[in-house]
Amino acid sequence: MTDLQKTPEQTATRWTPDGGRDPLAGRHGAIGTSLPRIDGPLKVRGEAQFAAEVPADRLAYAALVTSTIARGAIATLDTAAAEAAPGVVLVMTHRNAPRMAPPAVIMTDPRAAGASSLPIMQDASIHWNGEPVAVVVAETQEQADHAASLVRVTYREEPASLSFERAIAVGRHPDTVLGEPAVIETGDAETALRNAPHRIDRVYRTPRHSHSAIEPHAVTVWWEGGDLVLHDATQMLHMTRYTIAGVFGMDEERIRIHSPYVGGGFGSKGPWSHHFLAIAAAKLAGRPVRLALSRGDVFRVIGGRTTTEQRVALGARDDGTLAALVHTGTAAMTTHNNCPEQFTFPARHLYAADTIRVEQRVADIDMVANTFMRAPGESVGTFALECAIDEMAGELGLDPIEFRRRIEPETDPTSGRPFSSRQLLKAYADGAERFGWSRRAAAPGAVRDGDWLVGMGVATATYPYYRMPGGRVRITLGRDGRAVVAVAAHEMGMGTATVHTQVVADRLGLSVDRVDFQHGDTALPAFTMAGGSSQTATLAAAAHEATLALLEELLRLAGNDSPLAGLTVDEVEARDGGLGHRGSRERFESYASILGRAGREEVGAEGESPMPTETQSFSMHSYGAQFCEVRVHAVTGEIRVSRFLGSFDCGRILNPRTAASQFRGGIIMGLGLALTEETQFDERNGRIMNPSLAEYHVPVHMDVPEIDVIFTDIPDPRAPLGARGIGEIGITGVGAAVANAVHNATGRRIRELPITLDKLL
């Protein structure tokens, strides 16, 4: 029996690191309920303090001056007018900045999270248009901004690599693609493609995208003797601390970072040059400094998603099975980072084909270092792959969902591993019924409502399951029956604090109002980054270990006078504010009683997320089916998304309310990817030309219809709590679903994002 045939009950096996039974998995009351976010009231009342809102005595404010050439060196730098301006405390340039080591480039060290390996304001060199060349510190933000405008810089320009098309011609293979090889081949796909009776061979293009979280990047820093305190907007607390320690040659323990609230990250909230510049400026000024990037600074200083050119070729037989699947292409990157956009990842795992070839190359461009941006790779990779799947379905005369059913694999197509749980076809079936897919007209352009052409499209959503080892959680249980969970995890609005309050409450048999969740501080047990949709699984695995250790200590403290005397860990469960025998309601003792008799006010234990051995034996991914209906004006080409539904298979859903919010947020971001978002990069000088939300168009209310979200809620037996990550999958497949709906409405295939009306005229 495959997982596609199993019932939810048959797939609900308890997860434990060693494959044994979990004694604290017992009675679940909070998990699976739609508990509102516990940080919501604080944010609504304005009481949640973000990095740019932290008060400090004698706080000074900083502003950046950035370069206007792509490559070369500073020729002259005149700061006299800025230094003489009212309120100015300091003007820092490469001439007076403290000596700093280059940050470790991303993926070169297990803990490194630096976005770029370049020296930061250490010499006159310029590496991209927008690189900071001066920091002005003043008594007020307005004074700093004004003085920054008075800094005069001239440059010696050098030839720069700015044309993506020319850079493709001399592209290269990256060393790895997030730990996977850049090229994977099973069989001779190109020959199988040529011999297939049905073939398509297409090129798809996606543009640059810039991070535009509601909270721009900011840091408030000060020195206390040789110790450093930061209030930061980060999604990687300990990675940021590690990187800062390396740059300044410090002991990590002398750096404390607070980041309890982050107003959106999506991959960008890590250590960038503004961190190091603010720290250096605070050292020179001898007082606290706040550096809050303007929206324009975010576009120029913080990397985003990079442009891609992708080839997808499919060879099919008459029966609708694939003889060949080819997905190759190039993404722009810089030589001073290591973040290739892994657009071929979906093609490695989604569909059965006799032969497969995937290949990724990078083209080196002189630009701000690109970085992770919600479902990096998968978001744009699914656009190309899923549009090609739709095109082939048309060539075969098959319904797009039926075609996907015929190429559903039994095992992972490239690794050969069995799937831990895969309910993609159920997600498609559930979504099709709910969306009314049967009403779709197969012939493009067949449905019209006045001047509006109406069409439907689908696409597969997918994102890998990640769980990071090494994250630690401390749980302290008090005599008053309250539990405190302490972990340096992150809350960026996705509901981490809420969900894991529910998790620990259930694991300890407490109500959620008896659990306090402490997070966002490097003084707490070290944790991994909030990225790769990994935080929930990692935290759940660490909490599993911590609660088991806590149970063992409680049984030891209970002693021989307890109703629990003689019971082993496997024989008890947490319930009703205490521990009880699994087979007897009478054998029970409350936590308060255990601690009281032992003369203890509290008991605590720590747990660490073990190495994720499940990923070594199984192919683990989340899946979804994205359904879109569009209306395209026959005269103007205007596109309106009129309906959207996401049907997801992400294992067990721990909190339907926060999960649905995550899915909808990803879908909305996907609508921006499909229809509006494009960072305009001037290939003459490397300048970003639309660095504001007035010109970089993210979706607004009128662009977004009501979004319906459903999920299978079938636990993955190999994942902690049966849950896989959900933070990033929502954006995947959306671009293709929109493009496929546009084709169904108009008969036009748009293979380059965004789908703007000029491409339909």
Enumerate the active-site residues.
728
**CB of 189 within 8 A of CB of 324?**
yes
Give the integer Cα–Cα distance in Å for 13 and 21: 9
Count of residues for the chain?
Answer: 761
Query: H/E element holding 415?
Result: none
Helix (H, G, I), strand (E, B) or coil at 638: coil
Whether 451 contacts 635, CB under 8 Å: yes
Q: How far apart are CA 303 and CA 719, in angstroms?
A: 32
- Give the span between the Cα atoms of 240 and 62, in whole angstroms: 20
Mapped onto helix, strand or coil, the DSSP state of residue 652 is coil
Q: Rounded to whole angstroms, how far apart are CA atoms 639 and 753? A: 13
Q: What are phi and psi of 289, to 5 degrees?
A: -135, 135
> Could you tell me where the beta strands, DSSP code E, fall in 430-514?
448-449, 452-464, 472-478, 483-486
Give DSSP secondary structure letters for 166-184: HHHHT-B--S-BTTB-SEE
Residue environment code for 614-650, b if the CB has 16+ CB neighbours within 10 A, otherwise e: bbeebbbbbbbbbbbbbbbeeeebebebbbbbbbbbb
In degrees, rounded to 5, the angle at the alpha carbon of residue 184 between the alpha carbons of residues 178 and 185 is: 175
Ranges of beta strands (E only) in 198-244 are: 198-206, 218-224, 227-232
Closest listed residue to residue 141, CA positions, set 91, 88, 97, 80 = 88
3-state secondary structure of 237: helix
307 membership: H or E segment, kind and range: none
The two three-digit tokens of residue 360, written as one number = 């990724």
Cβ count near 203 (within 10 Å): 13
Beta bridge partners of 460: 625
> What is the radius of gyration, based on Cα positions, of the chain?
27
Evaluate the omega torsion of the peptide bond into residue 754 and state whether it is cis, within 30 degrees of 0. Answer: yes
Distance CA 527, CA 241 (A): 12
